[in-house]
Amino acid sequence: MTTRAWIAGIGMTPFGVHQDKTINDLTRWAVTDALTDAGASTNSIDAAFFATATQAFLQGQLMIGGQIALREIGIQQIPVFNVENACATGASAFTLAVNHVKAGAGDIALAVGVEKMHIGDRERSMAVFDTAYDVADPAALTRTLKELGGEIDEPDLGRRSIFMDIYAAMARNHMRLHDTTQRQIAAVAAKNHLHAAANPRAHYRTPISIEQVLSARKLSHPLTVPMCAPLTDGAAAVIVCSDQGLLRLGARRQVQVLAAVVGTGTDRDITTFDGHLSQHVALNAYDAAGLGAAEVDVAEVHDATAFAEVLQTEMLGLVPRGEGGPAAERGDTTLGGRIPVNPSGGLESKGHPLGATGLGQIFELTEQLRGTAHGRQVDGARIALAENGGGFHRGEEAVTSIVLLGKA
């Protein structure tokens, strides 16, 4: 009999600026809430997967971050694994926890992701992103961006993450291929800021209009500031159980993990989106879950920029190729629309603490499937999808995770 994996407990801090909190404080907050939600104690956990992408760079804790943070909570003796996989770090920890349970190595596993990116030195925080591509060949990145987005003559628009230039180049390529407009990309940002207004854990909770998005400070064409994720602190935790683990905790079968798949890219023509990384990982996830894109009721996707949501809705098969922009502008991906995307507010508004982001998506989708998302609830949601990507290599993300969850 195949071992099943269930989500027994979730916890998440508000995402935002936590000047008075340490990595250990944020970890404790999220894990304690997840344990309480699951009806578990620290002694219940058989293994833990601790996810952080920036702690080594920003706090200088290059090793044993998980062992230190979790010992502070009282999690001792069990195996603790430290996970780093760029912006897909949290989702990767979740996949490892799922695989641990499904392999029969333990009945109850913890995945926790945490990031503290506000350290009083914005330049150093921004420099984190300069490590998420091939640093041994920086000229290759310049060539790739030119190949994707063409020459662009812009004045100095100020310090920004290199990933805003990466997404901008990909967006210009998509605009050329599919006539996607800047207004359609702005519609994604306005929609996600609207969703975040109903999320008490979101970094930004003020709705803004499409016109306000378009008139905001420019980054790299076609992107403006509200189209892009902010620097964010926060933590999120998920407790994953087998059937036996649920029995140990006396927990109900509420949310089942139908698939958790991580993949990397292949060499391809980067000027088209054919064979894009998230497309083939999604197909593997759909196959593992035994369902198709049409059965997904709600999705959280990696909108580090609003354009990324346009692209990912297409790559995941939620909308036809080239229709990501028009679908957003029509309201198809808004709450109440055909396929609500990022009801949490997404990375643009909920925030993007890298190591916690993927687990924050799982938190949101678990609430959606439990029917406890309140003002942002998707009616009748039974199948949920999370897409979380990270890094940049040879024209696309370096890593992508797809998770499919089902209501029991």
In the CATH scheme, what is the homologous superfamily, with its name and number, of domain 125-230+259-407? Answer: Thiolase/Chalcone synthase (3.40.47.10)
Partners of residue 299 on adjacent β-strands? 341, 385
In angstroms, the CA 338 to CA 349 distance is 21
Give the CA dihedral 116, 387, 161, 188, nearest 10 degrees: -110
DSSP result, 168-203: HHHHHHHHHHH---HHHHHHHHHHHHHHHTT-TT-S
> Nearest-CA neighbor of 360 among 115, 50, 90, 95?
90
Average pLDDT, the chain: 96
pLDDT at 153: 62
* 125-230+259-407 shares the fold of 6-120+232-256: yes
- Check pLDDT > 80 for residue 397: yes
pLDDT at 156: 58
Per-residue pLDDT reduced to its tens digit, 182-236: 999 999 999 999 999 999 999 999 999 999 999 999 999 999 999 999 999 999 9
Please state the domain extents for the chain.
6-120+232-256, 125-230+259-407
pLDDT at 267: 92
Instruction: Give SS3 for 256.
Output: strand
pLDDT at 2: 65
Residue 272 pLDDT class (50, 70, 90 cuts): very high
Residue 84 pLDDT class (50, 70, 90 cuts): very high
- Check pLDDT > 60 for residue 130: yes
In angstroms, the CA 110 to CA 42 distance is 10
In angstroms, the CA 12 to CA 348 distance is 17
Q: Is the dihedral of CA 179, 275, 186, 226 positive or negative?
A: negative
**Residues noted as catalytic:** 87, 352
* Residue 121 token pair: 């030195």
3-state DSSP percent of the chain in helix, strand and coil, to 5 = 40, 20, 40
In the CATH scheme, what is the homologous superfamily, with its name and number, of domain 6-120+232-256? Answer: Thiolase/Chalcone synthase (3.40.47.10)
Q: For the residues 116-138, what does the mean pLDDT come to?
A: 95
Per-residue pLDDT reduced to its tens digit, 146-190: 999 987 666 556 667 899 999 999 999 999 999 999 999 999 999
Per-residue pLDDT reduced to its tens digit, 321-376: 999 999 999 999 999 999 999 999 999 999 999 999 999 999 999 999 999 999 99
Q: Tokens 């109900």 — which residue?
A: 252
pLDDT at 253: 86
Q: For the residues 102-119, what does the mean pLDDT come to?
A: 98
- Check pLDDT > 90 for residue 93: yes
pLDDT at 158: 64
